Amino acid sequence: MPKGTLEGMRGSRVLIYSHDTMGLGHLRRCSTIAHALVREYPDLSVLILSGSPIIGSFDFRARVDFVRIPGVIKLRNGEYTSLNLGIDFEQTIHMRAEIIKHTADIFAPDMIIVDKEPLGLRGEVEETLRMMKARGTRLILGLRDIMDDPLMLAPEWRRKNVMPALRDLYDEIWVYGLPQICDPLQGLQVPRQVRKRMTYTGYLPRRTPTERSTRPLPAIVSEPYVLVTTGGGGDGEGLIDWVLRAYEADSRMLYPALIVLGPFMQPETQAEFIDRANRLDRVQAITFDAKLEELEDNAVGVVAMGGYNTFCEILSFNKRALIIPRTRPRMEQFIRASRAQEIGLVRMLEDDGKRDADVMGKALRELPYQNRPRDVIVPGLLEGLDNVNRLVAPWLLDPTVEASTPAPVKSATKVAAANRAKASSGD
């Protein structure tokens, strides 16, 4: 056992790595998985590695914690730069990589789940993965349902040398979606042994907080309302502008609108939108709410850009939804929304750049009469967390093993046999 690590101590440990620092998608997906794991396994601890500047704004359950690594920000040209530190990007990446490696070394997880980016930002997690694989740690790559247009993803992954990592490093690849909606690696030359390691879990369901909220809520939620959300808000200006144009043109909308701008929208843009909303009787705008699920659950319908997490929430709360997806820098939202519309789960409206108020107004008036997602039967649609819990089971330490005895790596066959033996003995 390496000196100074937690290896051999009682309880299992899972380390989750999320590379992104802007937007809410990666952070919310990782925290959802972490909370589901500790609910299922009372002897498990989960540590999230993230560069999100707002990770401290979220509530975490007991046995879930986070380490915040120095932040970076993606520019509109797709390049990254340091978020707050006055050092260049390469120095920031080196610092992040060292923190990641040291954290994994000390935490000594039984399993590492890497979110979306196989080698991390600029390869920052590769050395850690190789170190932990040599120690027998189970390595998992978690992919959202859709990565990007294959014509864009294929050259990107060739440049990053991703396929050798999928072949040589990862034990399993979990796809948080369903193949009938999308194969995230479609159009890529994926080795057969990599395909064999892929498991489609279904989408990750969301739940509203079990404890009643004590935070002050916007006044508009006292009556039926439409929720308009941009997720993180860094690229949501078009959606907000279009919705506001519709309400400015027609004050007789069936339902008022609550607009959540997102914490990463530029402050001057936020101020402009809040000013426009304040001039309207039936619109209220707020910057951010860490418990967005509660606002979504109470809404009569949702207008959104269609990121992964918002899509999961729409499905989970069975909300009629109007999706206006972005198409840059990735086609991910557009592909998801168009596939979901084909199945009948949501309605999609494309932003043609003109943002005609009448077009949006018509879509908003029709929103309450759309089908709900559960009007369409899609087997396994929201079984993602149940399946994740099943997938981790063979690789977690047995809580009955004494703390002084390191637990061996167990195969699924051995676990099943042990469970059968316990059942037959009446345990």
- Summarised one tens digit per residue, pLDDT across range 21-78 is 655 667 889 999 999 999 999 999 999 999 887 787 778 889 999 999 987 766 555 5
Please state the separation of Cα 72 from the chain's center in Å. 18
CATH architecture of 219-375: 3-Layer(aba) Sandwich (3.40)
pLDDT value of residue 243: 97
Residue scoring higher pLDDT (353 or 364): 364
pLDDT value of residue 412: 34
* Amino acid found at 276: R
CATH 3.40.50.2000 in the chain, residues?
A: 12-202+383-425, 219-375
The H or E element that residue 68 is part of is strand 64-68
Is the bond into 329 cis (omega within 30 degrees of 0)? yes
- Summarised one tens digit per residue, pLDDT across range 34-47 is 999 999 999 999 99
* Amino acid found at 280: L
Residue scoring higher pLDDT (310 or 289): 310
Read off the pLDDT band of 400 (50, 70, 90): very low
State mean pLDDT over 287-313. Answer: 92
pLDDT value of residue 74: 62
Query: Is it the case that residue 374 has pLDDT exceeding 50?
Result: yes
State mean pLDDT over 334-363. Answer: 96
Backbone φ, ψ for residue 44 (5° rounding): -105, 140
Read off the pLDDT band of 403 (50, 70, 90): very low
DSSP string, 15-65: EEEE---SSSHHHHHHHHHHHHHHHH-TTEEEEEEE--TTGGGS---TTEE
Alpha carbon distance 211, 42 (integer Å): 20
Question: CATH topology for 12-202+383-425?
Answer: Rossmann fold (3.40.50)
Which residues is 259 bridged to in the sheet?
228, 285
Dihedral (C-alpha) 124, 125, 130, 132: value to the nearest 10 degrees? 140
State mean pLDDT over 403-424. Answer: 35
Q: What whole-number percentage of the chain has pLDDT above 70?
A: 84
pLDDT value of residue 213: 60
What is the rounded end-to-end Cα distance, in angstroms, of the chain?
32
pLDDT value of residue 221: 87
pTM: 0.86
Residue 340 tokens read as: 């979901």
Read off the pLDDT band of 13 (50, 70, 90): very high
